[in-house]
């Protein structure tokens, strides 16, 4: 069967979806992580080629292929991966914002906020062009993502242990989660961990929020306030009326962490944004982009060009 294939790949797993040429889903699955920053260009290409070979062996003829890869925002990385995979079939590499836009904003102008390990906001203007805010990596941003929330919670807990803030149970929860003997040891421990390992402790902060812990509630409020401000800024720059379109959301942190999602909804309502709804699966956005690559459908086909990257 002739199919379009879309992949949404991150640091923990890579999801794929196949649709026939009429747009009906025929198969989906998950394979090990495919992250450009960790694997490099050739390592990423090896895993993508292996996935294509496996799907072909299963009787699927891949007519178009789009891979949404975390860490593939730079033009030279995307071009290198494309060259290494080859041109046997139409193939494009995009970053997270393009995939999120295809999932959440395929129907027209609007704003989508995505928070997983990191975070970003992407807006689609009336002319179809995309504009991104955030998603610049854990060192310079990614506010409101799981890593940033856990990091900010650890900062607050250490400051409380140092007598700079009112103490709460947050420090003890985090010390246990990170196997720290003392709260003040959290800094040394977190510096040795990858962002994904830190982000994995988001449920600890969420549980503290749900228990009414003041430090945890304050951290989540501040991080989601930043995301709300980013949504408003993206809408203004793209000429989108948030009062009419609302905001779509996605990513594991917002999808599965109720305190984070609820706090962001409240922060948006405080800024006059009433609509706040799920934006769909990123992997569905990837397979929509694959169909656009094959058919030339605009504006999504234009989102695949290096010069148009969000």
Is the pTM for the entire model greater than 0.85?
yes
Contact (Cβ atoms closer than 8 angstroms) between residue 62 and residue 5: yes
Q: What is the pLDDT of residue 142?
A: 87
User: Tell me: the pLDDT tens digits for 187-198?
Assistant: 999 999 988 899
* 18 and 54, same domain (yes or no): yes
Nearest 10 degrees: Cα torsion 259, 264, 267, 273: -140
Please name the helix (run of DSSP H) or strand (run of DSSP E) that holds residue 64, with its range, or none. Answer: strand 61-69
Write out pLDDT tens, residues 23-58: 999 999 999 888 787 788 889 999 999 999 999 999
3-state secondary structure of 163: coil
- Domain presence at residue 99: no
Residue 307 has pLDDT above 70, yes or no: no
- The H or E element spanning position 41 is helix 36-57
pLDDT at 144 over 70: yes
Beta-carbon contacts of residue 308 (< 8 Å; ≥ 6 apart): 129, 130, 302
Q: What is the mean pLDDT of residues 7-29?
A: 91
Instruction: Please report the pLDDT score of residue 136 as a whole number.
Output: 79
Q: What is the pLDDT of residues 206-244, one digit of tens each?
A: 999 999 999 999 999 999 999 999 999 999 999 999 988
> What whole-number distance in Å separates Cα of residue 243 and Cα of residue 263?
19
Give a yes or no: residue 101 inside a domain: no
**CATH for 237:** 3.30.420.40
Q: Does 215 reside within a domain?
A: no
In a domain, 41, yes or no: yes
Domains in the chain: how many in total?
3
If asked whether residues 154 and 262 sit together in one domain, one would say no
């Amino acid at each position: 069967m002739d199919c379009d294939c879309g992949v949404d790949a991150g640091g923990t797993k890579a999801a794929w979806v196949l649709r026939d040429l009429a747009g009906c889903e025929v198969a989906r699955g998950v394979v090990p992580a495919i992250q450009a920053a960790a694997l490099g260009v050739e390592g990423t290409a090896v895993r993508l080629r292996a996935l294509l070979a496996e799907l072909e062996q299963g009787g699927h003829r891949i007519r178009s292929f789009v891979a949404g890869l975390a860490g593939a925002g730079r033009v030279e990385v995307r071009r290198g991966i494309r060259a290494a995979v080859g041109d046997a079939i139409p193939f494009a590499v995009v970053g997270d914002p393009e995939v999120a836009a295809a999932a959440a904003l395929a129907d027209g102008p609007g704003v989508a906020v995505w928070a997983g390990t990191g975070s970003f906001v992407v807006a689609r203007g009336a002319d179809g062009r995309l504009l991104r805010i955030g998603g610049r990596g854990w060192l310079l941003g990614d506010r409101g993502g799981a890593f940033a929330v856990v990091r900010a919670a650890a900062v607050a807990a250490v400051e409380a242990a140092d007598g700079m803030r009112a103490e709460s149970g947050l420090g003890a929860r985090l010390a246990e989660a990170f196997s720290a003997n003392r709260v003040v040891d959290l800094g040394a421990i977190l510096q040795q961990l990858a962002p994904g390992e830190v982000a994995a402790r988001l449920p600890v902060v969420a549980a503290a929020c749900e228990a009414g812990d003041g430090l945890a509630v304050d951290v989540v409020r501040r991080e989601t306030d930043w995301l709300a401000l980013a949504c408003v800024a993206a809408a203004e720059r793209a000429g989108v009326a948030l009062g009419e379109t609302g905001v779509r959301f996605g990513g594991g942190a917002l999808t599965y962490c109720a305190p984070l999602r609820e706090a962001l909804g409240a922060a948006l309502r405080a800024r006059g944004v009433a609509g706040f709804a799920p934006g769909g699966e990123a992997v569905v956005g990837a397979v929509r982009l694959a169909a656009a690559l094959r058919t030339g459908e605009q504006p999504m086909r234009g989102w695949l060009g290096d010069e148009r990257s969000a």
